[in-house]
Structure 1
Amino acid sequence: MDEPVHRPPLFARAVPYLPLALFAALGASLAYVFRLPCRTGGWNDQVSTYTHFCYSDIYPLYFDRQLDVQSPYFADVPFDKQVEYPVVLGEVMQVFSRIARWLEPDAVQQAIRFYDGTVVFLGLCLVAGVLLMAAVAGPTRRWDALWYALAPSVILAAYINWDLVAGALSMGMLLAWAKHRQVAAGVLLGLAIATKFYPLMFAGALFLLTLRTGRWRPFLVTAASAAGAWLVVNVPFMVFAWDGWRRFYVFSQERGVDWGSPWLFFQNKGWPVLGEADVSTLGMASLAVLCLGIAVLTLAAPRRPRLAQICFLALAAFMMTNKVWSPQFVLWLVPFAVLARPNWKPLVLWQLAEMWYFFAIWLYLLSQPPLSRDDLGIGDDTYFTAVWGRVITIVIMMAFVVRDILRPHKDVVRQAGVDDQTGGVFDGAPDRFTLVPSYR
């Protein structure tokens, strides 16, 4: 008779994670301190906001989306003033706006309370994301999660928007999949997609590895659970607040080329055939080409790629081909970049590029109308060095990940004898379909 498996008590299992929780709390606190100049009044002065590099969407949207008087989606406001985020974020905004209105009668103080409450919640999301990432990485690489806790770009961008909510849900999805909890993985993936759209790329990564391994049942369970969770949180708004619900999708489709996107460089240079419709088509076409390349790589590699590698490549492709590449989008990529290839040299190079972009965008906005403060800001050429710096350093990281996939012995994770710590049912699975003969 088999001996029962002895598991240490929960507290003993949690102890190794406590230092990481403290470091994540430190990162969250530093991000709050960095924006103190704006919290104490700077948001009422655009020049001060940009020169202190402390801009956040949280405070101004409290007024611009009339959260001080109405609820998201159900608000009786013009279409362009409705909340332009998926429903999970809209509900997060509603919860904290109601708390702020309950605590403070004064509108300005309400906005500050709204900001403070939201930031505390986002800080908890960062701590949760770091701990979940550490659990995903496994005991031998647990400390890689420090990148997510204390990376300079994370501290600088943490509270620009609500992206850390989707980050925690995405890490939770990855951990649930790694632990063979397909229903939980699907629910968390559906909620993540209902928070920010980018986690949809992870469904594609799961599909490609399922195609290679033939593990269809876990994938279908996860996909069905994701669809169910997405419908549960979306259908009530689709039925009772259709205009408010569809605002995000209409806004995403109609939005023009915006800050950070490489497409903006080409438009700025006056390239032909780059109208708004052309950019939308070119963006979708270029993403499709990159995704096709990732699919071929996944199915033709000599050894099945790790899930984190494919998630990283898919997410990086989505970001680089998008019409918008806001500074806070770095929060999407940090944990997946580290899980895909925890090598400090390219990560440091990328972090330097992200830091330069973070400061460059606010300096560039200073020189643009309506402020037009050329004495304080930077011009086009300087700004676009920051845009391309991000693109080039991410392409470098993608190239290294592709090399690791084609030469698995170069993969530092697999050098420790690990097959795929995030793979779940893919971990150690034999190939069922490949484009070329593979080896084990």
Structure 2
Amino acid sequence: MSRSTYVPSPTGPVARAVLPLVPLGLLAALGAVLAYAWKAPCRFGGAWNDGTQQFLNFCYTDIYPLWWNEKLDQGLAPYFGHDVEYPVGIGSLMWIVQKLVGGLNEPGVWFYDLTVLVMAVSLIVGVLIMAALAGLQGRPWDTLWYALAPALILTAFINWDLLCGALSLGAFLAWSRKRHLLAGVLLGLAIATKFYPLVFFGPLFLLALRTRRWHAFLWTLAGTVTTWVAVNLPFMIFAFKGWKKFYAFSSERGADWGSLWYFFQMKQWPILGDADRLDTLGIVSFGVLCLATAVLALAAPTRPRLMQLCFLVLAAFMVTNKVWSPQYVLWLVPFAVLARPNWKPLLLWQVAECWYFFAIWLYLVGIQPGNEALGIGDTTYFTAVWGRAITIAIMAAFVIRDILRPEHDVIRQGGVDDPIGGVFDGARDHFVLRLSSPRPKDEPVPYSA
């Protein structure tokens, strides 16, 4: 080898970017293995077939019973042969796995196993994508909160949420790299899998309004709409009744376990506990929180970071939703960490989420006639319901404080603006609400102005 031969440095920029991904990917795989092991009493002990034991062993999943509930055991195709209460991304995955396991012994168990394999891969991919995003903020190891969060291990394989999480994070990684059409495509796929990523367009719109970076926003919006329509249109044309089941079911269902509305109804609060006003109350309360977030985004002296607004709007959606399942914690973990990577409020929230996870199953046992002594009652259960709502509100309060006083934001230290913000990073303000008297001439101008 000649003296002039170039040998890449093991500490070069590529190596520094890639090396943290290897252990983080392995730790994400460990998290998936632990989540699978947590379901062992049901997967290997048969507790799924006992309506009490699956709760007492804390190993319930939606995936296994849906093999029968969605008529997959009868060979019926989702939407075409049977109406499915999930968006087409999940229904299509059901159909693929159905075809793979249809001729096997115990196909319901195999349906669970193969679905979990897809979710495990989604978790690993999601962790690696989040590591890339956190790396832009100079903190790749914050991703450990997603790979090994206690609440993640408990809830990872209850439903299909991890797939949507990977798609959503992928969209923001594409956005951060200014690949706006790709960001839109991934968001379209995410919305076709779970509906909640639709709320992320609020932060993107507000920051585009403040910075006038409309070109990026519109390309992302076009990619999202085109992809969502392309994925959904065949089902809308050829299986409309089956396709609309998800939207009809979502609008018609009442307050479910875990939601604050369920508490209000069970305690018969005036107005807030009125089941006939539930949809209106949910929409209005979410709208009020979104309006407050919009005012904050447009009036804050320093433009908020994209992840801060995404966290706030997603938290608002969860807290005001009439459904708040245990696995919804998976939606929020990456955005909570990217918005404010402070371990104390995150740990407090994780404790609350874990307590809710155990409480909901014991509550479902306690409301079964004859099993009251094995479970818990309303009072204990509702401490868990309010526990996670309050801890999320605490995290939101800290994020709002960081927005209003960016010197407390650990991401913005050293003159950093918004590393994940893509075109918003370092952009000048063009539209800002002024809610106070004009700034004195000798007062410093905020960073983003």
Matched-pair identity in %: 60
Distance 1:372 1:326, change over 3 A: farther
Q: Aligned to 1:70, which of 76, 80, 89? A: 76
* Partner SS for 2:102: helix
Contact 1:164 1:331 in 2 (8 A): yes
- In structure 2, the residue matched to 1:24 is 28
The alignment partner of 2:374 has SS state of coil
User: CA shift at 1:262, angstroms?
Assistant: 0.6
1:417, 1:43 → 2: CA distance? Answer: 54
Q: Do the aligned residues in 2 keep the contact of 1:366 with 1:372 (CA within 8 Å)?
A: no
Q: 1:390 aligns with which of 369, 388, 391?
A: 388
Aligned to 2:278: 279
The Cα RMSD (Å) is 1.5
Which one has a bigger Cα radius of gyration? 2
Structure 1 residues 10-409: aligned runs within 5 Å: 13-40=17-44, 41-68=46-73, 69-75=75-81, 77=82, 82-102=83-103, 104=104, 106=105, 109-138=106-135, 140-273=138-271, 274-369=273-368, 371-409=369-407
**1:287-314 Cα distance to aligned partner (Å, 9 max, x none):** 0000000000000001010000000000
For residues 239-270 of structure 1, the C-alpha deviation after alignment (integer angstroms, 9 at most, x for no partner) is 00001100000000001000000111111111
Q: Given that residues 25 and 127 in structure 2 are in contact (C-alpha distance below 8 angstroms), is that contact kept between their aligned partners in structure 1? A: yes
- Asked if 1 retains the 8 angstrom alpha-carbon contact of 2:265 and 2:275, the reply is no
Q: Distance in 1 between matches of 2:19 and 2:408?
A: 32
After TM superposition, the score normalised by the length of structure 2 is 0.92
Quote the Cα distance in structure 1 between the aligned partners of 2:408 and 2:114: 45
* Separation in structure 2 between the aligned mates of residue 11 and residue 96 of structure 1, nearest angstrom: 37
Kindly tell me the number of residue pairs found equivalent between the two proteins. 425
Residues 372 and 205 of structure 1, relative CA distance in 2, 3 Å threshold:
farther
Instruction: After TM superposition, give the deviation of residue 418 of structure 1 in Å.
Output: 2.2
The aligned amino acid for 2:132 is A
Q: Which amino acid aligns with 1:70?
A: L
The CA deviation at 1:9 is 9.3
Shift of 1:275: 3.1
- CA shift, 1:325, in A, is 0.3
Partner of 1:3: none
Deviations 1:184-224 (A, max 9, x none): 00000111111101100111110010000000001000000
In the alignment, the residues of structure 1 paired with residue 270 and residue 312 of structure 2 have an alpha-carbon distance, to the nearest angstrom, of 30
Deviation at 1:272, TM superposition (A): 3.2
CA offset digits 1:20-61 (Å, max 9, x no partner):
000000000000000011012110001110010000000000
5+ unaligned residues in a row in structure 1: which ranges? 1-5
- Are the aligned partners of 1:294 and 1:310 in contact in 2 as well (CA < 8 Å)? yes
Structure 2 residue identity aligned to 1:385: T
Structure 1 stretch displaced more, 348-357 or 64-73: 64-73
- In structure 2, relative to structure 1, the CA distance for the partners of 1:142 and 1:416 (3 Å cut) is farther
Partners in 1 of 2:17 and 2:401 — Cα distance?
35
Secondary structure of the equivalent of 2:117? helix
- Tell me if the contact between 2:64 and 2:111 (Cα under 8 Å) persists in the aligned partners: yes
CA separation in 2, counterparts of 1:331 and 1:112? Answer: 23
With over 3 angstroms needed to count, the CA separation of the structure-2 counterparts of 1:190 and 1:372, relative to structure 1, is farther
Unaligned ranges ≥5, structure 2? 1-7, 440-444
Q: Which one-letter code corresponds to 2:95 in the other structure? A: Q
Rounded to whole Å, the distance in 2 between the matches of 1:413 and 1:189 is 25
- After the TM superposition, list the runs of 4 or more consecutive aligned residues in structure 1 that deviate by more than 6 angstroms: 6-12
- Distance between the aligned counterparts of 1:10 and 1:186, measured in 2? 27
Instruction: Give deviations 1:338-360, integer Å, cap 9, x for gaps.
Output: 00000000000000000000000
8 Å Cα contact 1:138/1:421 also seen in 2 = no
Determine the C-alpha separation between the residues in 2 that align with 1:368 and 1:240. 42
Alpha-carbon distance, 1:11 to partner = 7.2
**Distance between the aligned counterparts of 1:129 and 1:399, measured in 2?**
26
